[in-house]
Amino acid sequence: MSSTPAKPVLVANEASKRPSREQALEAVRTLIAWAGDNPDRPGLLDTPKRVVDAYGEWFDGYDADAGKELSRTFEDVTGYDDMVILRDIEVESHCEHHLAPFLGKAYVAYLPGEKVVGISKLARVVEIFARRLQNQETLTNDIIDAIESHLQPRGVAVLVDAAHQCMTTRGVHHRHVSTITTRFTGAFKDDPALAERFLKLARG
């Protein structure tokens, strides 16, 4: 059985295919009217501009390159061979199903092979992928795949813990519920004790 191919992600060099800013503004005006309000009343007159500007910030991950962030590496680690772990990286993303925010933290660790990268670059990779439309599982995979591809480490571990507003503000309206996704590669996948140590360090 054949399946419909996934729609390709719009990247920076395809920006000309995007709708114009005026088309985006008009789309917001249409949604305001569909919701039942008047987009021309004083309180809403500048809302389309504010929404479009906010979208430009929330989704600027489409214009960023995680590979570029990970391209500047260092080889001299003076014999260090244990995990490098970043805790409590802020995650601000939007789910692809309802365009609703999901907010939380990411925890990222890797076991250096021959290359290490500045720790701020790992946080930047999380930020780049978070600022796109996806589900949390995809976000977790994208972070780990980028690190695997560009650093060739001995293993990578990622945990994302986030609350989804599509669940808390609509639908079942269950507040104080978070979603946790994890993925392990290399030594983290092969060695349960190493994975457990990452989880303990990540959760503090």
What's the pLDDT tens digit per position in 35-70?
Answer: 999 999 999 999 999 999 999 999 999 999 999 999
Q: Point out which residues pair with 89 in neighbouring strands.
A: 106
Count: domains in the chain: 2
Q: Please report whether residue 64 resides in a domain.
A: no
For the stretch 147-176, pLDDT in tens is 999 999 999 999 999 998 887 777 777 777
Catalytic residue among 14, 23, 90, 97: 97
- Three-state secondary-structure class, residue 35: helix
Quick check: is 174 in a domain?
Answer: yes
Burial of 147 (0-12, 13-18, 19+ CB in 10 A): buried
Question: How much is the pLDDT for 76?
Answer: 66
Whether residue 89 is contained in a domain is answered as yes
Q: Out of 26, 92, 165, 166, pick the active-site residue.
A: 166
Same domain, 85 and 159: yes
Do 127 and 194 fall into the same domain? yes
Confidence check: pLDDT of 7 > 60: no
Q: What is the pLDDT of residue 64?
A: 95
State whether 115 and 170 are in the same domain: yes
Domain membership flag for residue 4: no
Q: One of 92, 98, 148, 165 is an active-site residue; which one?
A: 98
In this prediction the pTM is 0.86
**31 and 107 co-located in one domain:** no
The encoded tokens of residue 173 equal: 């309206």
Q: Which member of 14, 22, 96, 137 is catalytic?
A: 96
| Res 131 pLDDT > 70 | yes
CATH classification of the domain holding 30: 1.10.286.10
Q: Known catalytic residue: 165? A: no
Q: Quick one: residue 178, left, alpha or beta (phi over 0 = left, psi -120 to 50 = alpha)?
A: beta
Do both 31 and 126 map to the same domain?
Answer: no
Does residue 95 have an active-site annotation? Answer: yes
- In the residue annotation, 92 being an active-site residue is answered as no
List % helix, strand, coil for the chain (3-state, nearest 5): 45, 25, 35
**Which run of H or of E encompasses 56?**
helix 47-58
- Residue 139 CA to residue 91 CA, distance in Å, equals 10
What is the CATH number for 172? 3.30.1130.10
Question: Which DSSP helix (H) or strand (E) runs through 189?
Answer: helix 187-190
Q: With respect to residue 2, please indicate whether it lies within any of the assigned structural domains.
A: no
Kindly state whether residues 121 and 53 are assigned to the same domain. no
62-119 pLDDT, tens digit each: 999 999 999 988 876 677 889 999 999 999 999 999 999 999 999 999 999 988 999 9
User: In which order are the strands placed within the sheet that holds 133-134?
Assistant: 133-134, 84-95, 101-111, 155-164, 179-186
User: What is the DSSP annotation of 121-135?
Assistant: HHHHHHHHHHTSEE-
Owning domain of residue 109: 74-203
Q: Is 166 a catalytic residue?
A: yes
Active site annotation includes 152: no
- Do 109 and 28 lie in one domain? The reply is no
CA dist 143 → 103, 121, 123, 128 (Å) = 16, 12, 10, 9
Catalytic option among 69, 94, 136, 150: 136
Same domain for 31 and 101, yes or no, is: no
Catalytic residue among 94, 127, 134, 164: 164
Q: Is residue 148 part of a domain?
A: yes
Token look-up 């570029």 returns: 68
